[in-house]
Chains A and B, each alone.
Chain A
Amino acid sequence: MQEKHRGLALFTILVFIFLLGPLVIISITSFESGSILKFPPEEYSFRWYENIFKVEMFLITFKTSIIVSIAGNILALLLGVPAAYALSRFHFAGKGIINAIFVSPILIPGIVLGFSFLRYIVVTYNLPIYLSLFIGHTVIMLPFIIRVISSSLANFDFSIEEAALSLGATRIGTFFSVVLPNIKSGIIAAVMIAFLESFNNVDISVYMTGPGVSTFPIQMLLYVENYFDPTVAAISVLLMFLTAIFMFAVERLMGLSYFTKR
């Protein structure tokens, strides 16, 4: 029995080396002072971290990504929170179809979604790139918002709504004074998860690049095609750092179990 577990433990360690090793390696290579990516680095320096800020496209696309992800998040909230509320609260004919529509952006491959969006909306109506990115990212964030908020509302005691009504509140007043405050942490988690999905997204953003305009991950892809220096490694480290902060925040708010629930 002990041996079986020891063997399993060893195997697990190897698997985690597999999972985390590449991330560790890329972190170390980011400090290489030479201009070719190699491991182990010959000399160490922060040079490539500085370079990030020297490459104008990184700064521009970073700003673009942040703006698109935040703006899209806001629109997704405005569309998604009422929808999640309606779906959790009521039974009605056609609920299945509407549910299906709201979950479809996750089910349909992003690379397909992006293409059809490009062909039928962006090109047909000659939409400016920023607008296209904004709409596209809202589309992919919407199901996450709805899913997380619905999950918060799943065990919600709606009798407090009735209590508020009996005391004289309007339906809208009830929503803002009594429902919303009690799903606050769910909303925050939804926003963060949606933001991450949007910020890291490639499948859709890849269709919406133009002269001087693209999102940060796309810019990273473009850079890698032309330069194989440690800059991208440095960016990766910074991104992982942000991800770690993000994880910490979500764990504080919703607990680790949030990620293991399906």
Chain B
Amino acid sequence: MALFTLENVSVAYEKKNILEDFNLSIEKGQLVSLLGPSGCGKTTTLRLIAGFLEASNGKFIFQDKDYTKVPVNKRNFGFVFQNYALFPHLSIFDNIAYGLRLRKISKKEIEKRVLNMLEIVNLRGFEQRFPGELSGGQRQRVAIARALVIEPDILLFDEPLSNLDANLRVNMRVEIRRIQQELGITTVYVSHDQEECFSISDQVAIMNKGIIEQLSDPATIYKYPETKFVADFIGFKNFISFDKRIDHKDYIELEKAGLVFTIDRHEHMENLNKMIGAIRPDDFIMEQSTTAIPTNGMTGTIKITTFLGRSYQYVVQTALGDFTINKEMVQPFKNGQEVTVIIPKNQMVLVE
């Protein structure tokens, strides 16, 4: 059952539509990430849900009620900001209690809830301190506590970990997921960090220029990206635009420039519009040049060699273009060397 839905919404900024006829539905209790590059509209979508933005068209339906015109301060959605937005003049206790005090809750009850929340975010003992005295990670936890303590229907995160250093980010995202699952609170999480989103989400929406390119669970997206954009975003660096596609019972035949490739058929590739093949750099087979070219193979020449640490990365020139291929080798290939490149049948994904 969808908890809320954005229906055909359009949001404009300075005469340009950032979102146009945008649709998104989220189930109760899920953590859904909006992932994408800067300018894709993910933050706009989040702020629209929060109520900081008004849509020029469309509806926002929450629990089957039309919430489109409901102002921010009446929505009861918790919002966690990228820069924490803690009130500098209030103590940690007062920061967290702020929302509760507006709801006419008894002093005793407020104290109980605030202390309980501090316990949940592991900041017990910090009640009387001030935001200025806290580290980034601590401040973020206060921001989360402040948003959670009002028992919101939806929790919204706007790139909450971008300002923290790498180690802290990993720890914090685990914390956020833990709290979210413990409380079962429906959450929308915006980030540009793929690993972050994939590691904590039930569903990920990959956005590009105001459009959701794919909305799915992380595992599916990782293995079966739907579009070239998504594939590129998650690490498929190599693309072949095929000219012909013939679907057989168990396999699909693809042809370009006289070369024919066969790949295993999979339900995710049923869409006949998918004519582009995508392969990860790690998924090729590359050997020294042989006289006989095996199935799904082609000749290639090494153009550039880079040492990545755990492997070598090669740019290989072939009849179908340049490919980026990673290979561990005891004895690496050299520039100019002739090689045979093979695409295994189960390693190429078809995208639009």
A-side interface residues toward B, CB under 8 Å? Answer: 157, 159-160, 162-170, 173, 177-178, 181-182
Interface residues on B, range: 20 to 34
Contact assessment for B73 and A165 in the assembled complex, using a CB-CB cutoff below 8 Å? yes
- The residues of B that contact A177 with a CB separation of less than 8 Å are 98
- The residues of A that contact B98 with a CB separation of less than 8 Å are 164, 167, 169, 177
Q: Is the interface of A mostly helix, strand, loop or mixed?
A: helix
B-side interface residues toward A, CB under 8 Å? Answer: 50-52, 72-79, 81, 83, 85-89, 98-99, 102-103, 146-147, 150
CA distance A201 to B186 in the complex (A): 62
- Complex: chain B residue closest to A184, CB-CB: B89
Contact assessment for B103 and A166 in the assembled complex, using a CB-CB cutoff below 8 Å? no
- Complex: chain B residue closest to A158, CB-CB: B85
Query: Which of B51, B86, B87 is packed against the most chain A CB atoms within 10 Å?
Result: B87
Which of A157, A160, A162, A167 is close to B102, meaning CB atoms less than 8 Å apart?
A167
- The residues of B that contact A160 with a CB separation of less than 8 Å are 85-88
Give 7 pairs: A residue, B residue, CB < 8 Å, sorted on A: A162-B85, A163-B86, A165-B52, A166-B50, A168-B73, A169-B98, A169-B102
Contact A159 to B83, CB < 8 A, known contacts A167-B98, A167-B150, A169-B102 = yes
- Complex: chain A residue closest to B81, CB-CB: A159
Q: How many A-B residue pairs have CB under 8 A?
A: 59
- The residues of B that contact A168 with a CB separation of less than 8 Å are 73-74, 76, 99, 102-103, 150
- The residues of B that contact A169 with a CB separation of less than 8 Å are 73, 98, 102
Contact assessment for B99 and A167 in the assembled complex, using a CB-CB cutoff below 8 Å? yes
Query: Which of A162, A170, A173, A178 is packed against the most chain B CB atoms within 10 Å?
Result: A162
Tell me, rounded to whole Å, the shortest Cβ–Cβ distance linking A174 to chain B: 8
Contact assessment for A178 and B87 in the assembled complex, using a CB-CB cutoff below 8 Å? yes
CA distance A164 to B150 in the complex (A): 12
Contact assessment for B87 and A166 in the assembled complex, using a CB-CB cutoff below 8 Å? no
CA distance A173 to B98 in the complex (A): 12
- The residues of A that contact B88 with a CB separation of less than 8 Å are 160, 182
Contact A162 to B81, CB < 8 A, known contacts A167-B98, A167-B102 = yes
CA distance A168 to B150 in the complex (A): 9
Query: Which of A159, A163, A181 is packed against the most chain B CB atoms within 10 Å?
Result: A163
- The residues of B that contact A162 with a CB separation of less than 8 Å are 52, 72, 79, 81, 85
Contact assessment for A157 and B89 in the assembled complex, using a CB-CB cutoff below 8 Å? no
- The residues of B that contact A166 with a CB separation of less than 8 Å are 50-52, 72-73, 75, 77-79, 147
CA distance A170 to B103 in the complex (A): 12
